[in-house]
């Protein structure tokens, strides 16, 4: 596997935006927007140059309408899917 390039703040913001979009799109594909009362998706990403690793912290919550058949577990599935897709995104944009 190729090494990550040194990532600056703009690159970290781009990666966070990618993850946000993937989680948001996953949930909106599965759940009607009428069923979602509130949704917060936050990614905090840092790059450790000495170990060439990304540290990703997530803080997510979703509040569904009382008649929705979904619960908060869908946000964990969405996050898992986004993280699966992240490797390909990093390969395409941020690896040497």
Across all residues in the chain, what is the average pLDDT?
A: 92
- pTM here? 0.90
Residue 52 has pLDDT above 90, yes or no: no
Domains of the chain with bracketed CATH: 9-93 (3.30.300.100)
In angstroms, the CA 92 to CA 18 distance is 13
Q: What is the tally of helices (H) and strands (E) in the chain? A: 2, 2
CA 29 to chain CA centroid, nearest Å? 15
Residue 92 CB: number of other CB atoms within 10 A?
8
Percent of the chain surpassing pLDDT 70 = 99
Residue 77 has pLDDT above 90, yes or no: yes
- pLDDT at 15 (0 to 100): 97
- pLDDT at 8 (0 to 100): 94
Q: Are 6 and 35 in contact (CB under 8 A)?
A: no
Q: Are 12 and 45 in contact (CB under 8 A)?
A: yes
Assign 1 a pLDDT band (cuts: 50, 70, 90).
low
């Amino acid at each position: 596997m190729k090494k990550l390039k040194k990532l600056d703040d703009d690159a970290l913001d781009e990666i966070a935006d990618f993850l946000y979009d993937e989680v948001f799109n996953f949930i909106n594909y599965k759940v009607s927007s009428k069923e979602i009362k509130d949704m917060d998706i936050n990614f905090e990403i840092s790059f450790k140059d000495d170990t060439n690793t990304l540290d990703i912290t997530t803080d997510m919550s979703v509040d569904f309408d009382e008649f929705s058949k979904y619960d908060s577990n869908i946000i964990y599935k969405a996050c898992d899917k986004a993280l699966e897709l992240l490797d390909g995104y990093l390969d395409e944009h941020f690896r040497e």
